[in-house]
Amino acid sequence: MSHKAGFVSIIGKPNAGKSTLMNALVGEKMSIVTPKAQTTRHRIIGIVNEPDYQIVFSDTPGVIKPAYTLQESMMSSVQGSLIDADVILLVTDINEKYDESDVIEKLRKTESPVAVLINKIDKSTEEEVKSKIAHWQQTLNPSAIFAISALHGHNITAVMQFILENLPEHPPYYEKDALTDRNERFFVSEIIREKVFKLYEKEIPYSTEVIVTAFKEEATITRISAEIIVERDSQKNILIGKAGSMIKKVGTYAREDIEDFLQTKVFLELFVKVIPDWRKKDSYLKRFGYE
C-alpha cells in the first residue's frame, strides 16, 4: 500500500478563522481561539494520522504589515510555512473588510495547489457566497474554492478530500502517534495567554507573553509556575487588578483548561514581570522562542 504524507499551510488575514479551522481539521484543540485579531503568534503544527496518510497542518499568524520586531518574526514564520507547503489553504472571512493584496502576492509565487476557503458563511446569504466565489475565481484562480463554516464544521470533509487528493506519496514525517511538534509547556503557556486575550481589553493582550518557568510532575498533581511578561508597570497593575482580583481569574480559568489538557490535577502559580519593549528586542524574542 502506498502512503501519502505532506505539509498543509493555513494562511490568511488576522481573525479569518484559521485557528478554528485547524482545530476542526485536526479534531483537537491545538490553537487558541479568541475574537481578537493576531491571537496566533507562532507557527503551530497539528498532525492527522491514518494508516495510509499523514497530514501535517500549520496554523500561521494572520498576515499583516509588521510594525515591530515580534510581528516581523510572525511574518517570517508565515513565509517559512509557504516554502515547505505541499498544499495551501487560504482562509478568508466572507465579510472581509481587509485589503488582501499582501496575501495574494505571497501566493502568486507558489507552485503548490491552493484552495480558497470562504469562511463564516453561516453569517451570510447565498448571494454573498456566490459573489465572493466569483471574486476569488477572478483574483487568484485557485485549484479549488470552498464555502465553509469552520465553527460549525460545514464543508470540512470536502476540504479534507481536496487535501488528500493533492498530498504526495511519501513516508510519514513524524511518528504515527504524534499530534504536534510542540511540547506540553508550550500548550500550557498558550492556554494562559488565551485567558489574557479573553479577559483584558485594548493593548494588554498584545503586550503580554507567557513563559512557563517550572513544570513539575508529581504522582497526583502537576505543579506549574509561569510568568506573564508585560512592557510597562501600568500594564502590570491592570493585569493584577484590584487586590489581585484579575490575575486570580486568569489563574482559575487557565488551571481548569490545563487540567483538562494534561488530564491531571494542577497547582498553578502566576507571576507578572515587566520587561520594557520586549516585543522590539531580538534577545528577548529569541529567548521566548520566536525566530
Query: Taken in order 229, 232, 233, 238, is the CA torsion positive or negative?
Result: negative
Q: Are 137 and 85 in contact (CB under 8 A)?
A: no
Tell me the pLDDT tens digit for each residue of 112-156. 899 999 999 988 888 989 998 998 899 888 999 999 998 888 999
- Report pLDDT digits (tens) over 210-248: 999 999 999 999 999 999 999 899 989 989 999 999 999
* In the predicted structure, residue 162 carries a pLDDT above the cut 60: yes
Looking at residue 1, what is its pLDDT? 62
pTM tops 0.95, yes or no:
no
Sign of CA dihedral 73, 8, 105, 134: negative
Q: Does pLDDT of 72 surpass 80?
A: no
Pairing of strands 87-93, 4-12: parallel
Report CA-CA distances (Å) from 219 to 69, 216, 264, 265: 42, 10, 10, 10
Residue 33 cell numbers, joined: 481561539
- Sheet containing strand 144-147, edge to edge, reads 44-50, 53-59, 4-12, 87-93, 114-119, 144-147
Region at 153 (left for phi over 0; alpha for psi -120 to 50; beta for the rest): left
Q: pLDDT by residue (tens digit) across 164-192?
A: 999 999 999 988 888 887 788 888 988 89
Question: Using the 8-state DSSP alphabet, how is residue 41 labeled?
Answer: -
Please report where in the chains the cell 498532525 appears, as a residue.
Answer: 47
Q: Report which listed range, 8-12, 30-34, 94-98, 254-258, is most confident.
A: 254-258
* Beta carbons within 10 angstroms of residue 105's beta carbon: 10
Question: What pLDDT is attached to residue 18?
Answer: 84
